A and B are shown apart, each in its own frame.
Chain A
């Protein structure tokens, strides 16, 4: 039982380490606060 718990905690630790490495670098960002996309047409293409 103790051996099982050790292995499980080791596995969780390794997974956490991998997840931390993958999340490294970059600050992410926030979605646009207002507005949206509209198609370029008419006066936009003159």
Chain B
């Protein structure tokens, strides 16, 4: 398998490292405008990795292209990848790029290729956990995703912008837009993140996991934020984002009918978001390249009929998930 990773930041560099240690991946192209960064990443990966600083890196001959740079470029990069005959794995966690990528569904199907949208921590791992939890139910009625923490600078910028955008929730068979930064809820994440106030935000999660659950009544996503985050959200970022955030977490709450009873399953994960997102993107790329994913453009919950092999492989690679038992 030959894979290109476009973007060598907090997520892209981790995805490249995970791919380099995966049997079946024989060549990697790592592209980033930052020459020093991409050289350093490729030097750590050995001879299988080829660096590139060109924004128009040649994608011909690649089986899968992982998009790990800023989301605003993902649509054009995905189009180039599809034209070159490659499948696409995008790590975006922004609503607008996710929508643009989902619009490539027809083209991806015509070309018998996959465009995996939102293959990161959340969306990404959260979709796999939602799909896994969904298998426990006869009918899934509600899926609620919350996340805390950010990966690299692009992720921090996306988090900042998401609080001033419009949130998209699935409610009673229709999409409902609400103001980002509203709807505070205390979400209880796995330790050490624990309780965090979470708010609506302009996130693609519901758009991505929604189609995986045909009987879904409510689908929401929230992001942890401080009051300062909410207050400054309409302003430009007042200082440069950190190179990488601290430990983050996700929480996926699935409610539905099992037999005669209505039950709730809560899954979560705690990790550095960039690290976990890189591992998820790499495993999604391998699943896509080996034909385990369906064709078309969608989120991981839709594309991967069975999320277990990915969750097992992620656990082997140190991305550990948890379940909450008790009364939430």
Q: Which residues of B contact A (CB under 8 A)?
A: 182-188, 190-191, 195, 197, 199, 227, 230-231, 267-268, 308, 311-312, 315, 320-328
Q: Shortest CB–CB separation between residue A14 and chain B, in angstroms?
A: 14
Contacts of B268 in A (CB 8 A): 37
Contacts of A46 in B (CB 8 A): 308
How many residues in A have their beta carbons less than 8 Å from beta carbons of B? 22
A-B contact pairs, 17 of them (CB 8 A): A22-B231, A23-B227, A25-B182, A25-B184, A28-B185, A30-B186, A32-B324, A34-B326, A35-B326, A35-B328, A37-B322, A38-B323, A39-B322, A40-B315, A40-B320, A40-B322, A44-B323
- The answer to whether A39 touches B191 (Cβ under 8 A) is no
Q: Shortest CB–CB separation between residue B325 and chain A, in angstroms?
A: 5
Pick from A35, A41, A45: contact of B325, CB under 8 Å: A35
Interface code A4-46, partner B: CB below 8 Å = 1, 0 otherwise? Answer: 0000000000000000001101111111111111111100111
Q: Shortest CB–CB separation between residue B314 and chain A, in angstroms?
A: 10
Contacts of A44 in B (CB 8 A): 323
Contacts of B191 in A (CB 8 A): 37
Contacts of A40 in B (CB 8 A): 267, 311, 315, 320-323
What's the Cα separation between A33 and B188 when bound, in Å? 11
Q: Shortest CB–CB separation between residue A40 and chain B, in angstroms?
A: 4
| Closest B residue to A28 using CB positions | B186
Contacts of B183 in A (CB 8 A): 25-26
How many contacts between A and B, using CB within 8 angstroms? 69
What's the Cα separation between A2 and B312 when bound, in Å? 70
- The answer to whether A36 touches B324 (Cβ under 8 A) is yes
What's the Cα separation between A39 and B320 when bound, in Å? 7
Contacts of B320 in A (CB 8 A): 39-40
- The answer to whether B197 touches A26 (Cβ under 8 A) is yes
| Closest B residue to A33 using CB positions | B327
- The answer to whether B186 touches A29 (Cβ under 8 A) is yes
Contacts of B188 in A (CB 8 A): 31-32
Q: Shortest CB–CB separation between residue A3 and chain B, in angstroms?
A: 30
Supplied contacts A27-B185, A34-B327, 19 more A-B pairs, CB within 8 Å: A22-B230, A26-B182, A26-B185, A28-B186, A28-B197, A31-B186, A32-B326, A35-B324, A35-B325, A35-B327, A36-B324, A36-B326, A37-B191, A37-B322, A39-B320, A39-B322, A40-B320, A41-B315, A44-B323
Q: Shortest CB–CB separation between residue B323 and chain A, in angstroms?
A: 6
- The answer to whether A26 touches B184 (Cβ under 8 A) is yes
Pick from B197, B231, B325: contact of A38, CB under 8 Å: B325
What's the Cα separation between A15 and B171 when bound, in Å? 37
- In the complex, the 9 A-B pairs of residues with the closest C-beta atoms, listed nearest first: A35-B326, A26-B184, A29-B186, A37-B322, A37-B190, A40-B321, A34-B326, A22-B227, A25-B182
Contacts of A45 in B (CB 8 A): 308, 311-312, 315
Contacts of A29 in B (CB 8 A): 185-187
| Closest A residue to B314 using CB positions | A45
What's the Cα separation between A35 and B199 when bound, in Å? 25
Contacts of B230 in A (CB 8 A): 22
What's the Cα separation between A34 and B328 when bound, in Å? 7
